[in-house]
Structure 1
Amino acid sequence: TIKNTTDPVFKERFLFSVEPELIQGKSLQLQVFAVDKYARQKVIGEADVRVGDIDLNMPIRMWFNLRDIDEKPTEYGDILFSLSYLPTAERLTVVIVKARSLRWRNGKDSGDPFVKVYLLQNGKKISKKKTSIKKGEKNPIFNEAMIFSVPATALP
């Protein structure tokens, strides 16, 4: 947990083990959360990435707009993350770099954001990792890596 900053930095790595035949058609779902004064977790927004649509032989780094979990058109900020695949180690690395312009629900002007990454199979969450909390941040910097074991035979 990082308190009272609008630019938190996260430096974490997460490893997910995935069978080769299970990676095709899979998605990663990233959710940014805030924790209120009662330690309740509230989703600020989310983004999905279809793993099969990305060339995992090349590291990538991109911003994604966070959407409301109810898929309303309102924006709640942006999230920047990178994906890379190391064939020799059969490892998919997701780095949650940072988020920006986070907007809290219910008119609040601050919160305690963090990100959850889900590995999905046929829309079902099969694995989950999360970053540390960045207290009071609207533009948190995480720099936390999550590592998934993904055999090369499972990639397109």
Structure 2
Amino acid sequence: EKGEEEELRLEVQGDILTHRGSLSVRSLYPVGTVLAGLYPVPPLNEVVAPPPGMATRLCFSVEYRPSSEQLAVSLLRLGNLPPRFHGNVTLVELRLLPDDRRPRQVKARGTGPDPEFNDCCVFQVSAACVSQSTLSVCVLSVSLDGKRHAVGLVLFPMEGELAHGGRVLWKDLETEEENLGDVMISLSYSPSLQRLSVGVLRARGLQLITETGVCVQVSLRIHTQVMKVKRSCVVNAVKDVHFNHRMTFKLRPQHLDEACLRFELQQPHVIASEPPIQLGELLLGPFMYARGPQLQHWMDMVNPTQRPVKLWHKLSRNA
């Protein structure tokens, strides 16, 4: 086995000498080739679980070998790929910026929300240059008609990361802002009754995935603790939905600055045992949790008249 590995290394070195001078990173080093046999990729069952939330994330690791002046990038998998891309082929294009112009391409080994790669791409780069480089990972989705759709981008500066070689990382993809739709929420609070009244009134412009209906899950949280979870009934799956669903939560006045409401618009899965499909999220709360209209709505809720305050809010992937 060692003999085979040594033979593979000699072949790689010969290939490097043959192509020396083309595609360099601030030096006469060729860059970018997929050499899965040289660097072991961490087993997928040992990969840490992704952080909570709906954001699309890339799982990978980087390791630099000074003796051979090689940067190994292990691509493991994606998490939370948007539903419209689940049936497509997923491609990843890697570059080592600023000098690398031609991308190296890796294809996912499956489809669905969490496609796996389990591939290693090696960049030849000198020790003097690697810490000044930035790894660019562009995720693309190829539909059946061959069209490529941009999913998102990860830019990973190498400076300060080389000391943590081989560490498995999860990084959110930078994406163009999606229009997931809006939801109209009504809030009111009664200090004497210690009651927070919530109305989920309407939703518009939803990006529906199935025809199984739409519902809203609302959770009251204090810091990281979920105090109570309530759900609306399932209504017909249309882009403009009328819920008109009201619910109440017990909340003491002293907790108004510590609590928040998390709204999750969902569609039941066609398979009853599977978790629901997330359409979008919204977080309303004080300054600890929210900004902009979401913060203002919470502040306006606490008013002497105790009248309900209605407001439209945009849904996001990760509230």
Query: For this structure pair, what is the TM-score category when the shorter chain's length is used for normalisation?
Result: 0.3 to 0.5
Is the strand fraction higher in 1 or 2? 1
Name which structure has the greater RCO, CA cutoff 8 Å, separation 6+: 1
Who wins on radius of gyration, i.e. which is larger? 2
Is the helix fraction higher in 1 or 2? 2
Q: TM-score, normalised by structure 2?
A: 0.24
Q: TM-score, normalised by structure 1?
A: 0.47
